[in-house]
Structure 1
Amino acid sequence: MNDSIETGRRERKRQQTLDHLSDIAWQLFEAEGFDTVTMERIADRADVAKGTLYKHFPVKEALLRHHFHRELARGVPDLLQALASLPTTEAQLREFMRHGAAWAEAHKKYLLPYVQFRLSEPRTLKGEQRSGLDRIFARFIAQGQASGELRQARDPQQLAHYLEFLYLGAMLRWLLLDGITLETEYQQMLDLFFHGLVRGEQ
Structure 2
Amino acid sequence: MTAETSPPPSPDTDPGRRERKRQQTLDHLAATAFRLFEAHGFEAVTMEQVAAEADVAKGTLYNHFPVKEALLAHLLHSELAGDIPRLRAAIEAAPDFAARMTCLLHASADWSARHRTYLVHYLRFRLANAVTPPTTTDAKSARSGLDQVFEALIRQGQASGELRADLPPAQLAQMFQFLYLSALLRWVAAPDSDLRAEFDATLHVFLHGLIATPDHNPTRGKA
Scaled by the length of structure 1, what TM-score is found? 0.93
What corresponds to 1:195 in structure 2? Answer: 208
What corresponds to 1:61 in structure 2? Answer: 69
- Secondary structure of 1:84's counterpart equals helix
- Secondary structure of 1:48's counterpart equals coil
User: Which residue of 99, 118, 126 corresponds with 2:126?
Assistant: 118
More helix by share: 1
Q: Shift in Å at residue 74 of structure 1?
A: 0.8
* C-alpha contact 2:176 2:206 (8 A) present in aligned 1: yes
Return structure 1 stretches of 4+ with deviation > 4 angstroms: 1-5
Q: One-letter code of the match for 1:130?
A: R
Q: Shift in Å at residue 200 of structure 1?
A: 4.8
> Aligned pairs, how many?
202
* C-alpha contact 2:126 2:142 (8 A) present in aligned 1: no
Q: Shift in Å at residue 108 of structure 1?
A: 0.6
What corresponds to 2:101 in structure 1? Answer: 93
Q: Within 1, Cα distance between the matches of 2:13 and 2:169? A: 36
Q: Within 1, Cα distance between the matches of 2:189 and 2:92? A: 33
Deviations 1:120-174 (A, max 9, x none): 1224344444211221101111111111111212111110000000000111111
Q: Shift in Å at residue 2 of structure 1?
A: 4.3
- Secondary structure of 2:192's counterpart equals coil
What corresponds to 2:195 in structure 1? Answer: 182
What is the Cα-based RMSD across aligned positions, in Å?
Answer: 1.9
Q: Within 2, Cα distance between the matches of 1:130 and 1:120? A: 11
Higher relative contact order (CA 8 A, sep 6+): 1
Q: Shift in Å at residue 6 of structure 1?
A: 1.4
Stretches of structure 1 lacking an aligned partner (at least 5 in a row): none
Deviations 1:9-56 (A, max 9, x none): 211111110010001111111122111111111111111111111111
- Secondary structure of 2:93's counterpart equals coil
Q: One-letter code of the match for 1:132?
A: G
Deviates more, 1:73-82 or 1:176-185: 176-185
Deviations 1:73-101 (A, max 9, x none): 11101202221111111101011100100
Q: One-letter code of the match for 2:20?
A: R
State how 1:14-163 maps to structure 2 within 5 Å: 14-121=22-129, 122-124=132-134, 125-126=136-137, 127-163=140-176
- Secondary structure of 2:26's counterpart equals helix
Q: Within 2, Cα distance between the matches of 1:103 and 1:5? A: 39
Q: One-letter code of the match for 1:118?
A: R
Distance 1:52 1:171, change over 3 A: same
Stretches of structure 2 lacking an aligned partner (at least 5 in a row): 1-7, 216-223
1:10 matched to 2:18? The reply is: yes
Q: Within 2, Cα distance between the matches of 1:2 and 1:201? A: 68
* Structure with greater Cα Rg: 2
What corresponds to 2:221 in structure 1? Answer: none
